[in-house]
Structure 1
Amino acid sequence: MPLAERIKHMALHNAKYVAYFFEALDQGDGAKLTKTLTDAFIIVLASANTLNQDIGRDLGEGAEAAVSFPSLGASLANELGKDGDDYWLVRNFARHTGRLAKVCESWDHLESIVFRDEMKQCNLQLLKVILAEASARQLDIAEAYQSRMRQVETRSIFDQLFREGAGGEA
């Protein structure tokens, strides 16, 4: 897909996750919330790749000083004013998802804004919210990412072909 279409696609994923976060919280479904948080993390990374964004650099000195994702997330939770309200996640994730959608819409209308910089800023804010929430929930986002990606990979025909070509060994 062309760049504009890829970013719009990612914005649509994020919009879907807003609904999933509401559903998970309203139903008290921790597993769905964890899966959605992990999927949102994956989309933020994919968006960063699409935008050629160095999110580690964009996070700044706090990311360099952090020894782990949980410690970075705890620092971000403090920076962002995360409180005990579960709906903090939805409010903040929706806010930045909406901003990203507005940038995509502005691109469609050829409005006079700096698209890439705005998209990168939205993506960075989404990452901060995800890491803060993951830390607050004691979710090892790196492990969750690896596990989820493996689930996605096993559904791919390429994974099946690789396994068959490798004699069933991966």
Structure 2
Amino acid sequence: MTQTQTSQMKAEELLILIQRNQHNHDEIYHKEIARLPVSERLQHMALHISKYFSQFVEESQGRYSCDKEWKDSFIISTSICNILNTKISDLWGLTDKDVMASDLRDYIKSYISNDMGESSELCMLSDINYELSNACEKIDHLEDYAYRPNISWAASRLAAYSAEKVMKKGDLYDEITSRLMETKRKNIMHVER
């Protein structure tokens, strides 16, 4: 699919296409994770986000560029939404709106600015990291806790922040597809088409 084709789609359609592609990718190239119980899969995703968060801190200090980590964060947040069987477009309030994929970055920027208030980006990313880790810990203890809404909140925000960063560099679909291809090429069963 070309950038021209994706830009002519509704944003909601583009996001579900990305989610389906991610689901298929995870089932084929990350079977060991896809077969884990839900709580362990969520814990695995939270560990990825914690790892990236340390790089985001480095980037905020001007010591590192997180191009790959922003893509990976979008990928992981997409996987989290898939684990929860939740559409990113629903979490972002895009359902039944006529937002085109070509206008998605502007929509996301507005979504983020409404969400952040007075918080810095790093504080918001820290909150996301905390919420994912906290939810995973509480699942382990079977504590009375709203896992789903809190994990959905974190995945939604992380997807928005990372998508906006990725879209500064290029088309969201192209950038994510290209990043997934890097992973596919590491698998001995992958065949170029």
Same fold (TM over 0.5): yes
Partner of 1:35: 68
- Kindly state the Cα deviation for residue 138 of structure 1 after the two structures are TM-superposed: 4.4
Structure having greater relative contact order (Cα 8 Å, sep ≥ 6) = 2
CA distance in 2, matches of 1:79, 1:155: 35
Query: Any idea what the Cα deviations from partners look like across 1:53-98, whole Å, max 9, x if unmatched?
Result: 1222222237843212x6223223223328xxxx944332221121
Which structure dedicates a bigger proportion of its chain to helix?
1
Q: 1:93 aligns with which of 115, 118, 125?
A: 125
What's 1:13 paired with? 48
Identity, % of aligned positions: 24
Structure 2: unaligned runs, 5 residues or longer: 1-35
Give the corresponding residue for 1:75: 107
Instruction: Rate the CA distance shift 1:52–1:16 in 2: closer, same or farther, 3 A.
Output: same
Larger of the two Rg values belongs to structure: 1
- Most deviating of 52-61 and 38-47: 52-61
What's 1:105 paired with? Answer: 137
| Structure 1 residues 99-156: Cα deviation after superposition (integer angstroms, max 9, x where no partner) | 1111111112221122223212221121122233334x34322211011111110000
How many equivalent pairs are there?
154
Distance 1:52 1:43 in 2: 14
Identify which of 134, 143, 158 aligns with 2:189: 158
In 1: Cα distance, 2:112 partner to 2:63 partner = 24
Please, what is the CA RMSD of the aligned residues? Answer: 2.4
> Which position in structure 2 is the counterpart of 1:65?
98
Please give the alpha-carbon distance, in whole angstroms, between the structure 2 residues aligned to 1:73 and 1:95.
Answer: 22
Please state how far the C-alpha of 1:23 moved relative to its aligned partner. Answer: 2.3
- Tell me: CA distance 1:29–1:71, structure 2 relative to 1, closer, same or farther (3 Å): farther
Residue 145 of structure 1: aligned partner = 176
Q: Mind listing any 5+ residue stretches in structure 1 that lack a counterpart? A: 164-168
